[in-house]
Structure 1
Amino acid sequence: MKYMLLVSHGDFSAGLKQTLSMFAGDAIDSVLTVGLKPDEAADTLETRFEATFASLPSDAEYVVLADIIGGSPLTTVCKVLANHGKLADTLVLGGVNFSMALTVLLSKDTMDNESLKAKALEEAGGAMKQFVVTTPTESDDDDI
Structure 2
Amino acid sequence: MRKLILASHGSLAEGMKSAVSMILGDTAEVSAFGLDTWGTPQAVLGKVREMMEQEPEDEYVLLCDIKGGSVYNAMIELCMEPNVSIISGMNLGVVLGTALLPQEAVLSDEIEDLIEEGRQGIQFCNASVMKKLKEKESEDGLW
TM-score by length of 2: 0.74
Greater relative CO (CA pairs within 8 A, separation 6+): 1
CA contact under 8 A between 1:108 and 1:116: conserved in structure 2? no
CA 36–108 in structure 1, closer or farther in 2 if over 3 Å, else same: farther
Q: 2:66 aligns with which of 65, 68, 71?
A: 68
Q: What is the deviation of 1:106?
A: 0.2
Deviation larger for 68-77 or 16-25:
68-77
Larger mean Cα displacement after TM superposition, 121-130 or 106-115: 106-115
Q: Which runs of 4+ in 1 moved over 4 A?
A: 131-134
- In the alignment, what sits opposite 1:117? 111
CA deviations over 1:70-94 (Å, ceiling 9, x no partner): 2221222233x35xx62x4422111
Once the two structures are superposed, the pairs formed by residues 1-144 of structure 1 within 5 Å of their partners are 1-25=1-25, 28-37=27-36, 40-55=39-54, 57-79=55-77, 81-82=78-79, 86=81, 88-107=82-101, 109-131=103-125
Percent identity between the aligned chains? 23
Alignment correspondent of 1:138: none
Structure-2 separation of matches of 1:33 and 1:43: 15
Summarize deviations over 1:118-137 as a string: whole Å, max 9, x none. Answer: 12111101111245787xxx
Using the size of structure 1 for normalisation, the TM-score is 0.74
